[in-house]
């Protein structure tokens, strides 16, 4: 317990799903938290739940200034920045020829451009704090096609290459790894299966096809994220960790 005491993390997409699960797990380990999301009401509720070592900053991470504000808040409130968890995501469901320009650009902006913005503003402060660890939440969609998800798969597909590049450029002070889940029970998953005519049947059928015979839970991803953020993975960087219940084996 408390292996992250006095360390500070920024978590995007913190108000629901995987991001929230990681925030709750880091709180139990004693970390200071800067929480990012667009829903101010859910953000304040989460801040109250996690206590005085958590601070919510509302904003749209598609905007560079929203990411800069997260870093500024971390330094002003806690005086250091040690960890990033980039968990915000957007789907952009629809066949490519039917996808609007706005949906394409918004999905790329959320899943890829926002990663660039936060890393750009945060990395110098992680370096000045003595180094740290970064986890980006990717997706098995980088390695497996799903019907009607072209913007999502394209944006997630860029992340393995980016992680390898940053590991080379910023090691040994900063470790950076990709965590790629499959079907985890989150609002994003329920939005994703709307691409099908029978979404509930798709979810049940997916669970039964997985070797583990169940969908993932945010806690499944959170435990791997904590491992990658912590000192027990001190020789791990530039890697992709698939947490998928065996999905890619099917």
pLDDT (tens digit, 0 to 9) for every residue of the chain, 250 residues total?
Answer: 567 999 999 999 999 999 999 999 999 999 999 999 999 999 999 999 999 999 999 999 999 999 999 999 999 999 999 999 999 999 888 899 999 999 999 999 999 999 999 999 999 999 999 999 999 999 999 999 988 889 999 999 999 999 999 999 999 999 999 999 998 988 777 777 766 677 777 778 888 999 999 999 999 999 999 999 999 999 999 999 999 999 999 8
Do residues 73 and 63 touch, judged by C-beta distance below 8 A?
no
pTM over 0.85: yes
CB within 8 Å of 97: residues ≥ 6 apart? none
Catalytic residues: 152
* CA 104-61-230 angle, 5° bins: 115
CB within 8 Å of 198: residues ≥ 6 apart? none
234 preceded by cis ω (within 30°)? no
For residue 191, the model assigns a pLDDT of 72
Measuring CA to CA, how many Å separate 117 from each of 17, 126, 172? Answer: 22, 14, 21
- CA–CA separation, 250 and 245 (whole Å): 10
User: What domains can be seen in the chain, in order of their start residue?
Assistant: 8-184+218-242 (3.40.50.720)
Count of H-run helices and E-run strands, the chain? 10, 7
Measuring CA to CA, how many Å separate 32 from each of 52, 178, 184, 210, 248? Answer: 9, 22, 26, 36, 35
For residue 1, the model assigns a pLDDT of 54
For residue 194, the model assigns a pLDDT of 65
């Amino acid at each position: 317990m408390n292996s992250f005491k006095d360390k500070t993390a920024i978590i995007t997409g913190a108000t629901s799903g995987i991001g929230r699960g990681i925030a709750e797990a880091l709180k139990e380990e004693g970390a200071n938290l800067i929480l990012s999301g667009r829903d101010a009401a859910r953000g304040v509720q989460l801040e109250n739940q996690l206590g005085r070592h958590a601070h919510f900053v509302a904003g749209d991470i598609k905007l560079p200034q929203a990411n800069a504000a997260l870093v500024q808040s971390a330094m002003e409130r806690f005086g250091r920045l040690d960890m990033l968890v980039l968990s915000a995501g957007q789907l952009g469901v629809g066949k490519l020829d039917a996808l609007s320009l706005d949906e394409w650009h918004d999905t790329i902006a959320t899943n890829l451009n926002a990663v660039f913005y936060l890393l750009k503003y945060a990395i110098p402060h992680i370096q000045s704090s003595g180094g740290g660890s970064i986890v980006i939440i990717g997706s098995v969609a980088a390695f497996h096609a799903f019907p009607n998800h072209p913007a999502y798969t394209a944006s997630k597909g860029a992340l393995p290459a980016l992680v390898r590049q940053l590991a080379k450029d910023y090691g040994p002070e900063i470790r950076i790894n990709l965590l790629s889940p499959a079907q985890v029970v989150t609002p994003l998953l329920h939005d994703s299966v709307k691409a099908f005519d029978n979404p509930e049947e798709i979810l049940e059928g997916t669970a039964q096809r997985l070797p583990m015979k169940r969908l993932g839970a945010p806690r499944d991803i959170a435990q791997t994220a904590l491992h990658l953020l912590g000192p027990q993975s001190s020789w791990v960087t530039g890697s992709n960790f698939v947490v998928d219940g065996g999905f890619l084996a099917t």
